[in-house]
Amino acid sequence: MTVVHFPEVPQTIDLHAKITPGTHFSFAGNCFDKNFGIALLSSNDYAINILFELENEKLIKAKSMVKGKWTREIQVNGSHMLSYKHQIPVQTISGIKLIEFMEISRLEVDLYQ
């Protein structure tokens, strides 16, 4: 398990272990009533980009970028959060991008063995 306390935001954190199906990511912190996001990166692609648009739209959006092109966006605004089909093999995920207007107190990556 890897734990990072109070990482700077925005920033990209390199993962130094191979991600496998079943790996858990946990984030704890505060948002500031604005938009923020978390993305899992694979080279120049986004395995998943989750945006919390709280300032105006009050939506949670998720999409991927594969070979420079964004996939169709899923918008979530209800009790069931989201089912998401992987667009990129999870084993190629190499980083976590933390996107604006939040303070992370704890970021945890628990690799599935």
CA atoms of 12 and 38, how far apart (whole Å): 10
Would the pTM of this model clear 0.95, i.e. be above it? no
CA atoms of 94 and 104, how far apart (whole Å): 20
Q: Please report the domains of the chain, with CATH numbers, ordered by start residue.
A: 2-18+30-102 (2.60.120.200)
> b or e along 27-50 (b: 16 or more beta carbons within 10 Å of the residue's beta carbon)?
eeeeeeeebbbbbbbbeebbbbbb
DSSP SS3 for 84: coil
Q: What is the pLDDT along the chain (113 residues), one digit of tens a residue?
A: 889 999 999 999 999 888 998 899 999 999 887 899 999 999 999 999 999 888 887 888 888 999 999 988 776 665 556 667 788 999 999 999 999 889 999 999 998 87
Dihedral over Cα of 70, 66, 19, 2: its sign? negative
